[in-house]
């Protein structure tokens, strides 16, 4: 039998997913408030661990395929999957990408945000940050019943093209809900296959990863940290979106 290429969540599951997504978003915003130059990325990962615990949840990333951190901390040219380290000190002006996953009551929340640490972003940095976040919001606008996954991909890619940014191809968005990674994939670029049609009950993690230079990436010898091939900056924004009969609900939206 052909495996279904998407997941429809029940109302009960949505309740749990909503709670986990809210917890992940809370940890994201608290970390952004608390992170300071001079901390090591291990300090930040430890802090994330305690914040996750205070939500009543656990890290969805720790131990996932052997990942050793509570969250992913990716700096500057690092795209995704950076690991907190005692050797890595955060500096003012670092472009910090935090990716947070929380498991809570049978639901999973997954969200990411990039920002410039301790100062306003320089012009190239703000082009990268603003357009990556804009692409996420443009993608979310297409996340409505009747559209296809490919409509989200097209909206995200359009923003990158207009801004002249590289779109990472090896890593993509995904279904997310009771497992961290569920079908379908949600690419940040148009593919030959427009993917499944969107149906109420689907939950998607939409997560553009854009680079100032080439779209190409390499993985470090730690087997996790993914960086841009040319060493130029990268940014990552991610929200989880619940497809409904009406407007999409952004499960990881949080006003602080």
Which residues of the chain form contacts with Mg ion (CB under 5 A)?
110, 205
- Nearer Cβ to Mg ion (19/239): 239
Rounded to the nearest 10 degrees, what angle do helices 41-54 and 11-34 cross at? 140
Least distance (Å) between residue 37 CB and Mg ion = 27
In angstroms, the CA 233 to CA 204 distance is 26
- Nearer Cβ to Mg ion (127/204): 204
Least distance (Å) between residue 205 CB and Mg ion = 4
DSSP 73-127: EEETTEEE-----TT-B--TT-EEEEEEEEEETTEEEEEEEEEESSSPPPHHHHH
Least distance (Å) between residue 89 CB and Mg ion = 27
Least distance (Å) between residue 118 CB and Mg ion = 26
Contact 242, 200 (CB under 8 A): no
- Nearer Cβ to Mg ion (31/205): 205
Helices (H) and strands (E) in the chain, counts: 4, 15
Q: What is the DSSP letter of 139?
A: H
Least distance (Å) between residue 169 CB and Mg ion = 15
In angstroms, the CA 146 to CA 135 distance is 20
- Nearer Cβ to Mg ion (77/110): 110
- Nearer Cβ to Mg ion (205/235): 205
In angstroms, the CA 31 to CA 61 distance is 16
């Amino acid at each position: 039998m052909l495996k279904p290429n998407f997941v429809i969540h029940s109302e009960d599951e949505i309740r749990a997913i909503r709670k986990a997504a809210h917890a992940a978003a809370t940890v994201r915003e608290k970390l952004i408030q608390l992170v300071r130059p001079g901390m090591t990325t291990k300090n930040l990962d430890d802090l994330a661990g305690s914040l996750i615990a205070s939500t009543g949840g656990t890290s969805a990333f720790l131990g996932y395929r052997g990942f050793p951190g509570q969250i992913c901390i990716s700096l500057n040219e690092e795209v995704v999957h950076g690991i907190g380290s005692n050797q890595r000190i955060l500096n003012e002006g670092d472009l910090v990408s935090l990716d947070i996953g929380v498991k809570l009551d049978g639901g999973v929340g997954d969200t990411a945000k990039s920002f410039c640490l301790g100062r306003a972003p320089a012009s190239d940095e703000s082009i990268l940050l603003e357009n990556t976040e804009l692409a996420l919001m443009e993608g979310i606008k297409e996340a409505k019943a009747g559209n296809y996954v490919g409509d989200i991909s097209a909206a995200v890619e359009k923003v990158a093209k207009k801004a002249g940014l590289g779109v990472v191809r090896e890593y993509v968005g995904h279904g997310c809900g009771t497992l961290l990674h569920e079908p379908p994939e949600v690419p940040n670029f148009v593919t030959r296959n427009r993917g499944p049609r969107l149906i109420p009950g689907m939950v998607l993690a939409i997560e553009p990863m854009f680079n100032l230079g080439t779209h190409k990436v390499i993985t470090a010898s730690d087997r996790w940290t993914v960086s841009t091939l040319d060493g130029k900056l990268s940014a990552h924004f991610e929200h989880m979106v619940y497809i409904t009969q009406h407007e999409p609900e952004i499960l990881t939206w949080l006003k602080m």
